[in-house]
């Protein structure tokens, strides 16, 4: 599905529910559904001796569809509320070409802060495990122990930074079994991998260049 197919969609839609819900006309092309796919959790060492849990999400942000294109297809402001994961799915399915995408991830871009807070591997693992174990969000002063050696924390940071850790590697098998009893959506790789490098956003100066 290419961008030209999208342009037959009605431009003025009152809400995101209507935009991403049932077709409103014969010309309407729905975005791909946000159906979840299986994700992998893996472990990396941390300086404290704990093991940090991460997902198999990319360690760097991915390009997004340009704001003017998204807003012209749906309605003004859609770009600001559309999940980044939906951008990636549409790009992966070939709905947009190279001229339609951009990489807005300099150090002062809100798109970078949003990606870092919710889609980079450490924060995504934290949020998935909070959902799986029915844990409400809490601040760093209230770490939550779940009896699996699991420590979930939101740290005092901008952008938001959240982590899920096991207090040591001896808990890996118990954690893996507990996750697999609750869902087949998450696959736990029990091997501890080398620590991955953190993504460094472009500086404002390099972004201008």
CA 124 to chain centre: 6
Per-residue pLDDT, 47: 84
Per-residue pLDDT, 196: 74
Per-residue pLDDT, 103: 92
Name residue, tokens 């972004």.
207
- CA-based nearest residue to 83, from 127, 40, 43, 52: 127
What confidence tens digit (pLDDT) does each residue in 41-57 have? Answer: 999 998 888 999 999 99
Per-residue pLDDT, 191: 92
Q: What is the pairing mode between strands 101-102 and 51-55?
A: unpaired
Which of the residues in the chain have pLDDT under 70? 1-37, 137-146, 197-209
Q: Is the pTM of this model over 0.75?
A: no
- CA-based nearest residue to 42, from 188, 197, 196: 188
Number of neighbouring beta carbons within 10 Å of residue 70: 24
What residues does each domain of the chain span? 1-30+62-104, 35-60+121-191
Main-chain phi, psi angles of 70, to 5 degrees: -60, -45
- Torsion sign (Cα): 50, 197, 187, 90: positive
Per-residue pLDDT, 208: 28
């Amino acid at each position: 599905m290419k961008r030209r197919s999208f342009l037959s969609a009605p431009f003025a839609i009152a809400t995101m529910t209507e935009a991403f819900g049932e077709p409103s006309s014969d010309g309407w092309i729905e975005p791909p559904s946000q159906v979840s796919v299986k994700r992998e959790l893996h472990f990396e060492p941390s300086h404290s001796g704990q093991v940090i849990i991460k997902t198999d999400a990319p360690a760097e942000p991915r390009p997004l569809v340009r704001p003017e294109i998204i807003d012209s297809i749906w309605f003004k402001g859609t770009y600001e509320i559309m999940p980044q994961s939906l951008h990636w799915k549409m790009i992966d399915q070939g709905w947009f070409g190279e001229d339609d995408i951009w990489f807005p991830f300099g150090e002062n871009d809100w798109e970078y802060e949003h990606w870092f807070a919710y889609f980079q591997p450490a924060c995504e693992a934290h949020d998935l495990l909070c959902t799986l174990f029915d844990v409400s969000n809490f601040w760093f002063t209230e770490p939550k122990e779940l009896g699996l050696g699991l420590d979930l924390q939101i740290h005092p940071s901008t952008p938001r930074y959240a982590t899920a850790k096991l207090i040591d590697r001896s808990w890996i098998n118990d954690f893996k079994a507990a996750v697999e009893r609750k869902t087949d959506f998450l696959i736990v790789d029990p091997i501890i991998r080398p620590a991955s490098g953190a993504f460094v956003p472009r500086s404002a100066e390099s972004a201008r260049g």
